[in-house]
Structure 1
Amino acid sequence: MGVSKFRGIIIKESDVGEADKILTFFTKEYGKLHVRAKGARKAKSKYMASSQIFSYGDFVVFTGNNFKSLTQADIIEGFYDIRTDYEKLAYGSAVLEIVDKSTYEESENQEILRLILRTLQNLNKKDSEGRLIFSAFIFKYLQISGYTPELTSCVECGEEIDLNNLYFGIEGLLCKNCRNNSSHSTAVNYAAVYALNYIIDSDIKNMYNFKADKNTVDNLRKMADIFLENLDLNLKSLELLENI
């Protein structure tokens, strides 16, 4: 039993009891944590504003026997523009759901927290390109998780890739022959592969420092959807993205 402090972001909130919430944090110090915020759903609760997803700040919790209870919250960033824009909210929610469903409790990974924050900071900007940001996030997140696409030769047969006939499958680039034997692949353009190389090779701080035309963004999104199958997640938030 005792008090602990951490800096983190709320990646999920669930109602429990008459007025409480269970908050899922991704933190710098401890990785993913589940904390109860007592009375957070009450109109006059001091935790009402600080117990919502996307809230990033410094938090204090009391740990008892088999439970953690929120005792203090100082919000650094609430990512307001994400909350008030349907498209940004859909992409931001998908980012948080991916992290929630593919990480374990109290498994520290500061690179993931850096990536979450960098992604939301860019998504929060005026006129941000949600599809591009979301696609880049998927590739960098999977790279951190141990999945990096093969981009130099065919992932199936090892043959050199024809730059005029590029195809992308669940593990990376495919030649034309191997593409015909794959049930999960898509034709892509060279600009999208070039952009993907930039994302993979860049530090998190710089990974969003590029622009792409609509066709390239479309290609990156298709590639990201296929590559995301490596995590085998049932993402509810992707339903919000179907018409975006």
Structure 2
Amino acid sequence: MLLKVQGIILKSINFKDSDKILTIFTKERGKIQAIANGVRKPRSKNMASTQVFSLSDFVVYKGRNLYNLNQSEIINSYYPLRDDLNKLSYASYIIELTSAGLIEEEVNTKIFGLLLKTLDIILKEEKYELITRAFELKFISYLGYRPHLIDCVNCHNELNSNFKFSTSNSGVLCEKCKSIDRFSKPLNIETLNIMRFMLFTSFDEILKVDIDENILKNIENIMVNFILKHLDKTSFKSLNFIDSLKNI
């Protein structure tokens, strides 16, 4: 049975002489694996729509192990991302993180919308660190792992001062409880308030604010460790590449 879906290419692997195996995040079916036969041939009508980042309408059918691509029509290639190394590297991290967090064929329209919104913003804006940190907070929350930032995750008392963020406890520990996790990381009230702001505020409002680089770096350290734990990963290749660019 033929299925019509809208999706964005998260990953593409060359297969045989002219085929590709695609990882597609679809609005209707979640993340799927599809084989695109002959798509690497010079005259293939599906070549543009099967590039990483491309948002397209697809017609697919389910095979024994993989979906099969029947036809496609491109909606947005996001091609300008490839013209700027910074845009490309941050967009690649967003894509890699999305793919790592999604379960096969589990629909998540919130993350689908978040991904497209974030790529659209990266095309237009240069606040890459701010955009990425906001995406991380919203993305991991939409997966069901929202960090507890309102009060102490252990005793639920108000956070006054001298608190820490605990990855293993998925939230902030107050001064009284912080000793239950010796690996918890120091967190000041300004950074905590920025994390709350990013989590619960739209991108349009977030982009109006200038945030200190040190605060963004602290949020990165907290969030990357938090994400790696919950996604059971050790690293992200694209994030390592971003770090290497910063040291040039």
Task: Return the TM-score normalized by structure 2.
Answer: 0.85
Determine helix, strand or coil for the equivalent of 1:222. Answer: helix
Matched, 1:237 2:238: yes
Match of residue 222 from structure 2: 223
The residue that corresponds to 1:155 in the other structure is 153
In 1, Cα distance between equivalents of 2:88 and 2:185: 27
Q: Distance in 2 between matches of 1:192 and 1:84?
A: 33
- Say yes or no: does 1:106 pair with 2:105: yes
| Ranges in structure 1 where 5+ consecutive residues have no aligned partner | none
1:13 corresponds in structure 2 to: 12
Amino acid at match of 1:49: A
- For the structure 1 residues 181 and 66, does the alpha-carbon distance in structure 2 shift closer, same or farther, using more than 3 Å as the test? closer
1:24-49 superposed Cα distances (whole Å, 9 cap, x missing partner): 11111111111111122233322222
Taking the TM superposition and a 5 Å limit, the aligned residue runs for 1:22-41 are: 22-41=21-40
Distance 1:108 1:152 in 2: 29
SS for the counterpart of 1:100 is helix
The total of aligned residue pairs comes to 240
Select between 181-190 and 68-77 the one with higher mean Cα deviation.
181-190
Q: Distance in 2 between matches of 1:18 and 1:12?
A: 18
- Percent of aligned pairs sharing the same letter: 35
* Residues 1:10 and 1:160: Cα distance change in structure 2 (over 3 Å): same
Once residues 155 and 116 of structure 2 are traced to their aligned partners in structure 1, the CA distance between those partners, rounded to angstroms, is 38
Partner of 1:130: 128
Secondary structure (helix, strand or coil) at the match of 1:50 reads: helix
Give the ranges of 4+ consecutive aligned residues of structure 1 lying more than 6 Å apart after TM superposition.
none
Residue identity matched to 1:79: Y
How far apart, CA to CA, are the structure 2 residues paired with 1:241 and 1:140? Answer: 20
Q: Which moved more, 1:211-220 or 1:154-163?
A: 154-163
| CA distance in 2: counterparts of 1:187 and 1:43, whole angstroms | 55
Match of 1:76 in 2: 75
Shift of 1:177: 5.9
Query: Is contact 1:169–1:185 with CA below 8 Å preserved after alignment?
Result: yes
Distance 1:77 1:224, change over 3 A: same
Structure 1 distance, partners of 2:232, 2:123, is 28
**8 Å Cα contact 1:10-1:52 kept in structure 2:** yes
Residue 150 of structure 1 deviates from its aligned partner by 1.8
How many angstroms apart in 1 are the aligned matches of 2:28 and 2:241?
A: 32
- Work out the CA distance in 2 between the residues paired with 1:30 and 1:6: 8
Question: Contact conserved, 1:24 with 1:34, CA < 8 A, in 2?
Answer: yes
- Structure 2 segments unaligned to the other structure (5+ residues): none
SS at match of 2:4: strand
Deviation of 1:7 after TM superposition, in Å, equals 0.7
User: By how many angstroms is 1:5 displaced?
Assistant: 0.9
The answer to whether the 8 A contact 1:132-1:220 is kept is no
Displacement, 1:116? 0.8
Structure 1: how far apart are the matches of 2:68 and 2:171?
A: 44
How many Å apart are 1:6 and its aligned residue? Answer: 0.7
Which structure is higher in helix share?
2
Deviation per CA, 1:162-199: give whole Å up to 9, x if none: 34x34322122233465466354333343332222123
- TM-superposition CA deviations, 1:87-114 (whole Å, max 9, x none): 2222222222222222222211111101
Give the TM-score normalised by the residue count of structure 1.
0.86
Seen in structure 2, the aligned counterparts of structure 1 residues 84 and 72 have a Cα distance that, compared at 3 Å, is: same
**Farther off after superposition, 131-140 or 212-221:** 212-221
